[in-house]
Amino acid sequence: MLDDKIFLDKEVTPTVVKILDDAKIMNNERVPLPKIYHYILTHSKDIREAYITLFLFGVSYRWYKEDNNLK
């Protein structure tokens, strides 16, 4: 558990949170996924930040699909 906390404190930066919030707003507005992915990739400062943001968005997207009974 401590390793998870250290990982999240280190990897989930304010920039990641901002990009993730924007991506969630885009998702709620029904923007196509490729455009959301492109937004995440172009607004991330490096590949590590892009990967963590894509991972977190993927998790939230899965919950979004389940909550809205989408396939």
**pLDDT at residue 4, rounded to an integer:** 73
Long-range contacts of 14-20 (CB under 8 A, 24+ apart): 15/44, 15/45, 15/49, 16/49, 16/52, 16/53, 16/56, 19/43, 19/44, 19/49, 19/53, 20/53, 20/56, 20/57, 20/60
Domain range list for the chain: 2-66
**pLDDT at residue 61, rounded to an integer:** 80
Give this prediction's pTM: 0.77
Is residue 2 pLDDT above 60, yes or no?
yes
> pLDDT tens digit string along 33-56?
999 999 999 999 999 999 999 999
Whole-number average pLDDT of the chain: 86
How far apart CA 41 and CA 51 sit, in angstroms, is 9
